[in-house]
């Protein structure tokens, strides 16, 4: 029977209450800081990066300003796509710094995570971040297409009006059938 359906006996209930009054949790600042990290599995997706000194605090704002100048969005939906691209770029830069720290030992020369454990997680994080960037760029391109402009990266995006040089070429183009003429 699952625990959620099983009820405690009055004796168990009284024992649980007595134990709960004695348990007050961590008391020292170190214990409180340690218990605050109980649910954290890793720090790659944290809203604030723990090694802030390794990052420029205004990096996302600079990336956003650069993207705004480059892509020149015209409405709030396009601005949201630009902001998503800026956040993804910053996360990519973070993953590159973390990868470098894994192999060099970081600023203090110590590795806190074994490379064989951290690298697969970092690669998944980077792949997700690259997908996020690509999705934001695709969303921006779709919004531009709705207002009648071309995609942002014409050298990467296919030109549907141009013949594909990698497609197999026909060696004998089809000919129109001509009526046969019989000599008189």
Q: Reply yes or no on whether the pLDDT at 139 is more than 90.
A: yes
In-domain check, residue 138: yes
Nearest CA to 157 out of 140, 130, 138, 132 is that of 138
In-domain check, residue 73: yes
Model confidence over 51-106: pLDDT tens digits? 345 567 788 889 999 999 999 999 999 999 999 999 999 999 988 888 888 878 76
Q: Show the tokens assigned to 164.
A: 């594909």
66 to each of 19, 76, 83, 137, how far by Cα in Å? Answer: 58, 17, 11, 14
pLDDT of residue 44: 54
In-domain check, residue 14: no
Is residue 141 within 8 A of residue 152, CB to CB? The reply is yes
In-domain check, residue 162: no
In-domain check, residue 76: yes
pLDDT of residue 19: 85
Q: Show the tokens assigned to 70.
A: 């480059």
DSSP designation for 172: S
Nearest CA to 92 out of 64, 37, 61, 129 is that of 129
> Which position has the higher pLDDT, 89 or 108?
89
In-domain check, residue 96: yes
DSSP designation for 94: H
In-domain check, residue 160: no
168 to each of 68, 155, 164, 171, 174, how far by Cα in Å? Answer: 41, 22, 9, 9, 15
Owning domain of residue 98: 53-152
In-domain check, residue 120: yes
pLDDT of residue 135: 96
- Residues 6 or more apart from 147 whose CB is under 8 A from it? 74
Q: Determine the average pLDDT of the residues in 4-30.
A: 83
Number of domains present in the structure of the chain: 1
> Which position has the higher pLDDT, 172 or 7?
7
**Residue 55 CB coordination number (10 Å):** 14
Q: Show the tokens assigned to 103.
A: 């192999």
Q: Reply yes or no on whether the pLDDT at 137 is more than 90.
A: yes
């Amino acid at each position: 029977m699952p625990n959620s359906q099983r009820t405690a006996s009055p004796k168990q209930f009284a024992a649980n209450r007595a134990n709960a009054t004695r348990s007050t949790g961590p008391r020292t600042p170190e214990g409180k800081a340690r218990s605050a990290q109980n649910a954290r599995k890793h720090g790659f997706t944290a809203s604030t990066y723990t090694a802030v000194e390794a990052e420029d605090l205004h990096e996302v704002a600079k990336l956003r300003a650069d993207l705004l100048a480059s892509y020149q969005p015209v409405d709030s939906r396009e601005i949201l796509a630009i902001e998503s691209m800026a956040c993804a770029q910053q996360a990519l830069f973070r993953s590159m710094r973390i990868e470098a720290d894994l192999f060099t030992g970081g600023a203090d020369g110590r590795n806190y995570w074994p490379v064989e454990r951290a690298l697969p997680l970092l690669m998944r994080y980077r792949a997700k971040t690259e997908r996020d960037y690509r999705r934001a760029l695709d969303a921006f391109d779709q919004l531009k297409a709705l207002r009648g402009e071309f995609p942002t990266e014409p050298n990467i995006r296919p030109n549907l009006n141009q013949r594909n040089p990698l497609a197999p070429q026909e060696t004998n183009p089809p000919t129109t059938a001509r009526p046969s003429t019989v000599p008189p």
